Amino acid sequence: MTEPAQSPRPDRRVDPVVDAAADGDGKGIYWVLRNVLVGPPVKRLFRPIVVGAENVPAKGAAIIASNHLSYADWIFMPLALRRRVTFVAKSDYFTGAGIKGRFQRGFFKGTGQVPIDRSGGSASEGAMRAGMKVLERGDLFGIYPEGTRSHDGRLYKGRTGVARLALEAKVPVIPCGVIGTDVVAPPGKVVASFASPTVKFGEPLDFSRYEGMESDRLILRAVTDEIMYKIMELSGQEYLDMYATKAKALEGRATTGAPKKVRKSDT
């Protein structure tokens, strides 16, 4: 009998920046942004529609897995809930200089983002470590399984980190479908429309039947695909069984006629 395909366990090396952010720094800033500075005017201007918020538990750890259409997803999805949602974001948002840099750093830290360096191979390990710390303290951890924003509005193949995190932390996954944020804030624009985006939360997904199987790649793929299917049902997007990064690279190559390197992880 053959052994199940094994997936490497996440690196638990200490990163003081990631660990400090994941420990819940900035909760006071978050409250001010959500309830005073950002939340009220955003809700008045855009009138976002929220469906299924009751599916998110009032307390206890859970993963919220969402599609990713626009940077505005960082605003509208957390605003739909009373509880704080912690995400990971590229570290560039935390290191900018000048007034813009200070504002950006304060905003991302205050809205529950954890800085992750996407260069090299440590990004996924840092995200896993941050996610585990957030979930261990009983909070909500938000993740975009596609790994990047959709460049054409379609839903792309999910990466298995969300499944590994759910199985290791033994927490439910709440699928989330965000609709219309790419109209509100398409790539390259701050705001293009005051249309009302919709945020839908599905029923929690329980994967306890796979307990102890978090190193099996086939199980991780099956769990991830189930999560992506539920997201697709909520968002109504067309699904493409390809990683978004690979799709972008192929589209760029077709447009320019020049070959572009596709990372091995995208195949």
Helices (H), 111-238: 123-136, 161-169, 181-184, 217-235
Residue 18 has pLDDT above 60, yes or no: no
> Within 13 Å, how many C-alpha atoms sit on residue 162's CB side?
31
State the angle between helix axes of 123-136 and 161-169 in degrees (0 to 180), rounded to the nearest 10: 30
Question: Mind listing the pLDDT tens digit for each residue in 230-244?
Answer: 999 999 999 999 999
CA 76 to chain centre: 13
Residue 1 has pLDDT above 80, yes or no: no
Instruction: Write down the architecture of domain 17-240 according to CATH.
Output: 3-Layer(aba) Sandwich (3.40)
The two three-digit tokens of residue 13, written as one number: 């090396």
As a whole number, mean pLDDT of residues 124-140 equals 90
pTM of the entire predicted model: 0.82
Q: Which of 161, 78, 167, 92 is nearest to 126 (CA)?
A: 161
What's the pLDDT score for residue 79? 93
Could you tell me if 68 and 146 are in contact, meaning their C-beta atoms sit under 8 angstroms apart?
Answer: yes
Question: Mind listing the pLDDT tens digit for each residue in 135-164?
Answer: 999 999 999 999 889 999 999 999 999 999
What's the pLDDT score for residue 267? 42
Question: Mind listing the pLDDT tens digit for each residue in 75-107?
Answer: 899 999 999 999 887 777 777 788 867 777 777
Mean pLDDT, the chain, whole residue set: 84
Secondary structure tally for the chain: helices H, strands E: 10, 9
